[in-house]
Structure formats: structure tokens, C-alpha cells
Amino acid sequence: MSGLSRRDALRAGGGFLGAAGVLALGARTARAEPWTWSPADSIVGSGAGADPLTVWDDQADTVVADVIDNADVPQVNRLLKEWTTNGQPLPDGLPANLRDFIESARQLPSWADQGKLAASFDFTKKRGTYLGVLYAFASGMMSTVIPHEARVVYYSRGGSHLKDRIAKTAKLGYDIGTVNAYAPDGQMIVTCVKTRIIHAAVRHLLPRSPHWPEGERPISQDDQMVTWHSLATTIMRTFRAWNLQIPTPESEGYLHSWQLAAHLLGIHDEYIPNSWEQADAQAKQVLDPILAPTPEGIDLAHKLLDLGVNLDLTLLSKPILGAFTRFILGDRIADWLYIAREPVWDPLLRFSWPPFVAVKEGVQGVVPPTADAAWMFDEFLRQFVLWYVSELQMPISIEIPLTNR
């Protein structure tokens, strides 16, 4: 492989990250082609139509900046730790402006549909185990080749506390798949609103970092939609690539659960697609053209692949995790990330995994993989769940940061 070697790419703190990486941080301030996606195709069917690269979350940003600069943030975090379920009253003692913001932000929109949420749980109940694999290897690893996201993570506090950040990200994927995700006794609304607050804190703190370009504002509406597509849209694209026939109510329900998540995370309704077709159309403009390797992303990718090394789980070795990444995201992205080709696992996944999933889905006429391959995949999923649960130590506290990396 020509060009930058993996060793050079991972030389943290050296001249490459200190110079070229910083110079590229501001690259996502303009679009190669004009913004053309119409708000008429959104969940609410209307909107101003502004390019989301030029829009942020001013409501959250004003409140959170004031809290960081003028309130006792450790005490605020201690109080917020007590708020764990959607319908739970907020604890006494929060700054008034933060309390008012949370009370507004926690409300479900008028277009929330409980019937679709029930169908979403049916979708997840059937596919929960390998949905977790996709959240990790389709969405989680894709984030490392989304340049702006990789750099925001790398230079913010999450870059130096990666295991903690991954656990908090995993909590979002866990909470959205529960039967009561948006119900009063669920936790998805809490997780989304706290994450929205964290994004506002990063927007306030990261411009103070010497590694961040002066005048640039991180985590725009565009950045958030890119991340949304790396989750919901990418997973549905993967299922389509596997030729799985998802019943329409379940497919629409799963989309609806992510539409609500987008709203609660602070994404403006006019940017939330009203269908999978529109999600795919929007992703072709905001996600697909921007995927690229960065030194920061390469470093984060290999740290992600190393997360399970200290656990006694033989099927979660770095080569096998790398093979899953290559299988799900393809050769181009795997090569960008300097993930080695695996002579055993690469062909096994390519030829046996789609039939394995199809058999799990109950698809008729699909020839199942060999017994040995099926056992290995079942064991991988079992171990992945064990790893996931061990990382997801409850309760996970999503807290307002006070520092960058």
C-alpha cells in the first residue's frame, strides 16, 4: 500500500497530526455541490431549506455555554445523574435555564406514532443480536472514516477517554431497541437529551483547543445528520445488501424510532427524512461523498478494534473484528484503515454470513451454512453480547465535560 504508512498514520502527537490534521479540520465548511435536498421530503414536509452545514443547535448552545461558564458543572452533573427515566421529574437544584431547556427538549413531537414504535420493537426483537454487530462494525467503524466526526472525537475529551465514550454511544443503541424506549419508564429520551447537551458542550469547548481552527464551529446539523445516516440508513442499506425482506410495518417502525431519536438529539425536523427512500437520497448527498481516511480516524479505528483484547473471549480477537469490519464496510474502507486481510475469516464471512442471517430471518429456500460455520457465528454473536454487556456497565452517566483532549 503506497502513501502514508500505518505506523506514520498512528504517530499520535507528531508533526503529521499536529500540522496536516489541524489544517484539514476546517475542511467541512463548504459543500462540493449545492444543497438540494428538499424539506418537503422531511417528516414535517416543510422548512426553510437552509444548508445544514450552516445551521447548529442555538437553543441548546446558549443554555449549555452559560452553564459551563457560570454554574457549578460538577454539581449539575451529579444532579443529572439522578435523572434516568423518561418520565421522571428533574432533580431540584438544576440551573433554571437548563431545567427549562430539558423540560422542553424532552417532549415528544406531535408526529410521534406509538403504533410505529411498537412495530419498531418487533423489528429489533427479531434482529437484536446482529443489530448490535452492525451498530459496531457498520456504524461504529464508519465513524472513523467520517473526517469531521473522527476529528471532533479525537480532539475532544472523548478521544482520551474512548472506552467511556464508546459505552455512552452503545447506550444509545441499547436504549432505542428496548420495548419501552420512549415510554415514561424507558431511557431513550433521557439518553438523547443528555447527548444533545454534550454536543452543545463540545461546540462550546472544542474551539478553545489549540488543535481546532479558529472560527470553526463543530457539530453542525449536517454533522449530526451524517452520524444519523451512519446508523439508521447504513443498517437498512446493509440489510438490503443481504437481500433480507423486512415487512413494511417493521421497516417503517424502525425508521420512526430513529426519526424520533433525531428530533430529540436536536436535529431540526426539516432535515429528518420521511421515508427510507428519502433517507437514502439525503445520505447520497451528506454521507457518501465525504467518507475518507484521516490519521485521527485510523488511530481511533485501531483503538476500537483493541477494546476487547483484555477479555477472555477468543472470537473477539482483533483479526476477527477486523474481518467483520472488512466484510460489512468493504475493502475500500478497510484498506483506508489499514485493516489486514484475513485468509480464513474473510472468505468465511463473505460466503456464509448472509445465508446465516437469512436462515435466522426465516427466509425460505436459503441454503444454511455448514454446521461448523453456523456454530462459529452463533458463538461470535454470543461473545459479542457478553462483551457488549460487560462494557455497558449500568448506570452509565452522560456528563457535561469541562475539558478537551
Does 53 map to a domain? no
pLDDT confidence of residue 14: 31
Model confidence at 24: pLDDT above 90: no
Model confidence at 163: pLDDT above 80: no
Cell of 114: 406509538
Does 177 map to a domain? no
Minimum mean pLDDT range among 52-56, 193-197, 377-381: 377-381
Looking at residues 266-281, what average pLDDT do you find?
A: 98
Does 55 map to a domain? no
Does 181 map to a domain? no
pLDDT confidence of residue 61: 97
First to last CA, the chain: 31
Model confidence at 105: pLDDT above 60: yes
Does 111 map to a domain? no
pLDDT confidence of residue 168: 64
Beta bridge partner(s), residue 404? 156
Measured distance CA(140)–CA(368) in Å, rounded: 28
Regarding predicted confidence, which is higher, 328 or 403?
Answer: 328
Average pLDDT score, the chain? 85
pLDDT confidence of residue 12: 31
Minimum mean pLDDT range among 40-44, 289-293, 307-311: 307-311
Domain that residue 150 falls in: 123-163+222-392
Looking at residues 288-292, what average pLDDT do you find?
A: 95
Q: Per this entry, what is the length of the chain? A: 405
311-335 tens-digit pLDDT: 555 667 888 889 989 999 999 999 9
pLDDT confidence of residue 94: 98
pLDDT confidence of residue 18: 30
Measured distance CA(405)–CA(403) in Å, rounded: 7
180-211 tens-digit pLDDT: 999 999 999 999 999 999 999 989 998 888 87
pLDDT confidence of residue 167: 64
Does 266 map to a domain? yes
pLDDT confidence of residue 237: 95
Looking at residues 385-393, what average pLDDT do you find?
A: 57
Of 145, 116, 202, 152, the closest CA to residue 26 belongs to 152
* Residue owning grid cell 499536529: 18
pLDDT confidence of residue 137: 82
Amino acid code (one letter) for 175:
D
Total domains in the fold of the chain: 1
Model confidence at 342: pLDDT above 90: yes
pLDDT confidence of residue 171: 78
Does 57 map to a domain? no
- Its pTM stands at 0.88
Measured distance CA(162)–CA(117) in Å, rounded: 31
- Are 38 and 49 in contact by the 8 Å Cβ rule? The answer is yes
pLDDT confidence of residue 22: 33
Q: Is 342 exposed, middle or buried (0-12, 13-18, 19+ CB in 10 A)?
A: middle
